[in-house]
């Protein structure tokens, strides 16, 4: 009886599969970025191990996991790269495909996007 909408049963971090789930998504994402000529150039001089660790930490933090993001604020982390919405949208498409690959359901993916959306303005602020 009552509303049949599925409600989140546990914290977002747990629905993402915790640390192993987030690590699998980020690894999958990195292969997609490496294969995408529209955005891979931005990472030409990036220390990928550092980037992966920092992104995992941020996703853990933002999903209420047991982590505190220690990296630079999003505006400074992306300043003067020349990013526009086409780059942002591409990254989100790859993240979505990576999460689908890792069997993360739509409702959980949408919960994460609701928390990432506010970062868009920060990332674009110093372009």
Residues that bind ligand HEM (CB under 6 A): 39, 42-43, 45-46, 51, 54-55, 58, 71-72, 77-78, 83, 87-88, 91, 116, 119, 123
Tokens standing for residue 118: 């506010």
Residue 81 C-beta: closest distance to ligand HEM, Å: 6
Using the minimum distance from each CB to ligand HEM, give the nearer residue, 66 or 82: 82
Question: How distant, in Å, are the alpha carbons of 51, 79, 120 from that of 72?
Answer: 11, 11, 15
Closest CB to ligand HEM among 31 and 43? Answer: 43
- Shortest Cβ distance from residue 31 to ligand HEM (Å)? 15
Q: Name which of 17 and 71 has its Cβ closer to ligand HEM.
A: 71
CB of 69 to ligand HEM, least distance (A): 7
| Pick 1 or 89: Cβ nearer ligand HEM | 89
């Amino acid at each position: 009886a009552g509303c049949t909408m599925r409600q989140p049963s546990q914290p977002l971090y747990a629905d993402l599969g915790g640390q192993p789930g987030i690590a699998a998504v980020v690894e999958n994402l990195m292969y997609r970025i490496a294969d995408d000529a529209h955005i891979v150039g931005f990472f030409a001089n990036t220390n990928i191990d550092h980037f992966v660790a920092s992104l995992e930490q941020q996703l853990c933090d933002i999903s209420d996991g047991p982590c505190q993001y220690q990296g630079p604020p999003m505006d400074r982390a992306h300043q003067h790269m020349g990013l526009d919405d086409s780059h942002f949208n591409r990254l989100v498409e790859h993240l979505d495909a990576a999460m689908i690959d890792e069997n993360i359901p739509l409702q959980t993916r949408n919960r994460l996007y609701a928390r990432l959306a506010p970062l868009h303005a920060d990332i674009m602020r110093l372009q």
